[in-house]
Amino acid sequence: MFPIVAKKELNSSVTMMTILAPFVAKKAQAGQFIIFRVDEYSERIPLTIADYDREAGTVTIIFQKVGYSTELLGSKEVGDSIRDFVGPLGIATDYTGMKRVAVVGGGVGCAIAYPQAKALHDLGVEVDVIAGFRSKDIVILEDEMKAVSDHFYLMTDDGTKGEKGFVTVKLQELIDAGRNYDTVIAIGPIPMMKFVSKTTEPYGIKTVVSLNPIMIDGTGMCGGCRVTVGGKIKFACVDGPDFDGHQVDFDELMSRNGTYRNEEAELKEAHKCRIQSMGEALIK
């Protein structure tokens, strides 16, 4: 069992948790992920490592409560424990040769963009962070990202905070202004990563994306997380999760990620209905 030692609600749907997992913390690096199970009956869910403390033996995760398992995890409090917390999995991000980098995060993807920016900042790399959200109500990790970036740009779709517009607009503006990035790291919704990659491709700027396909075992055996990169089949759990954004078949990835959307919605609704009926029974 793995105890929850800290919990913070970042917005109405996104939670940050710190888990006591000494063996995972000992080897964790930016770009890697874990797989958790809340209890013995739960499904296996992958989450990217948001932070770690080797001395304290803790690993921090940030997740959006969008389905049964993440809502179940979100219902846990400090002092509770979860059944499984396996990792670190995947290949850590390779920062070799990076000197001037733009880290682009979208929505809850900023939870993954933040450790990337932090790792680069600690290496002495010049880092610009572009963080995009729909509106001011869902902005997360603003102060944390500012602290690890040379320049920080906050974008909102509706203009309620920071600048109005998409992250790709700001990225294009910075490229046009002469920011000679050697690398762009993009993490967020698949369409966002796709269009960031399209923005950088004409300039030949190396673009790294962190992919989130459907995943089961996390060891390359099930094949569920397969993605097409450069016309070849890769497995995100063992070959990634970082890939060359100019080589990824994003349309295929979006299609595969939507395979179980209806079943997920039905399970989530059924779960809510059971809770509601139990509450009504108690009232009666």
Q: 88-123 as b/e, with b when 16 or more CB fall inside 10 Å?
A: bbbeebebeebeebbbbbbbbbbbbbbbbbbbbbee
CATH fold for the domain made of 2-89: Elongation Factor Tu (Ef-tu); domain 3 (2.40.30)
Paired with 17 in beta bridges are 7, 61
pLDDT in tens, the chain (284 residues): 899 999 999 988 899 999 999 999 999 998 899 999 998 888 888 888 999 999 999 999 999 888 888 888 999 999 999 999 998 999 999 999 999 999 999 998 998 899 999 999 999 999 999 999 999 999 999 999 999 999 999 999 999 999 999 999 999 999 999 999 999 999 999 999 999 999 999 999 999 999 888 777 777 787 888 899 999 999 988 898 999 999 999 999 888 876 555 555 565 566 554 544 545 554 54
Question: Domain coordinates of the chain in residue numbers?
Answer: 2-89, 100-210
Please state the three-class secondary structure of 14-28 as a single string.
EEEEEEECHHHHHHC
CATH number of 100-210: 3.40.50.80
pTM, entire model: 0.85
Structure tokens at 271: 């779960």
pLDDT of residue 269: 63
